[in-house]
Amino acid sequence: MRRASALLALAIVVVFGFLGFQAADPLYDAAARTACSTYAQDHGLELIQANGMPSGRSGFRSFPDYSCGFADPTGATVFVDENDELIEPTWAYRGLRVAGWLSWVVGLALGVGLAWFLGLLHRD
Q: How many domains does the chain contain in total?
A: 1
The answer to the question of residue 100 being in a domain is yes
The answer to the question of residue 89 being in a domain is yes
The answer to the question of residue 123 being in a domain is no
Confidence category of residue 86, pLDDT binned at 50, 70, 90: confident
- What pLDDT, in 10s, does the model give residues 47-79? 999 888 876 555 555 567 788 999 988 888 988
Say what the pTM is: 0.79
- What pLDDT, in 10s, does the model give residues 15-50? 999 999 899 889 989 999 999 998 899 888 999 998
- Distances 41 to 28, 35, 45, 47, 69 between C-alpha atoms, Å: 20, 10, 6, 9, 13
Give CA–CA dist 36/43, Å, rounded.
11
Pairing of strands 77-81, 66-71: antiparallel
What pLDDT is attached to residue 11?
93
In which domain, by residue range, is 92 found? Answer: 2-117
Judge whether 104 and 24 are in contact, CB under 8 Å.
Answer: yes
The answer to the question of residue 122 being in a domain is no
The answer to the question of residue 79 being in a domain is yes
The answer to the question of residue 124 being in a domain is no
